[in-house]
Amino acid sequence: MARHIYACPMRWSDMDAFGHVNNVVFLRYLEEARIDFMFTQAAAAGAGEFAGGSVVARHEIDYKLPLVHRPTPVTIETWVTKIGGASLTVCYEVKDTAEDGTETVYVRASTVVVPYDLKAARPRRISPVEREFLGRFMDDEAVPAAA
């Protein structure tokens, strides 16, 4: 199973009064990774319809560890756990991987995305080309539920 890897830059302003990345900022990080995956990478693979419109129907996020600003980007791995007729579920891990392979996971999350026809102002079906692209990143490993 392939995962989309996004190196997400961090900004000093991402931190809150407690000295770590604010919980709301993580949703922005996930959005950046999702846009790179579904708009940029999908378009490069010939499945550019997502950029024509999609909406978020649901977010679920588990905060595991605080993340503090540093000059190097944080890694966001993205994969797909469900492809329906007119929706898909994208999962994420925001993490660092040390040289010895040890992982530090800051956030695990999932998003239900619905392709959307902006002109008709309604959801649309996932096209065969989009389904093929998403299938390359399909994995049944859902984000674990909160303990």
In this structure, the number of other CB atoms found within 10 A of the CB of residue 139 comes to 12
What local confidence, expressed as pLDDT, does residue 47 receive? 84
What local confidence, expressed as pLDDT, does residue 112 receive? 97
Mean pLDDT, 10 residues at a time, the chain of 147 residues = 93 92 95 95 85 93 95 96 96 94 95 95 95 92 55
Q: Which CATH class is domain 4-135?
A: alpha beta
What local confidence, expressed as pLDDT, does residue 140 receive? 76
What local confidence, expressed as pLDDT, does residue 46 receive? 84
* Overall pTM surpassing 0.85 (yes/no): yes
What local confidence, expressed as pLDDT, does residue 43 receive? 86
In this structure, are residues 50 and 42 in contact, taking their beta carbons and an 8 Å threshold? yes
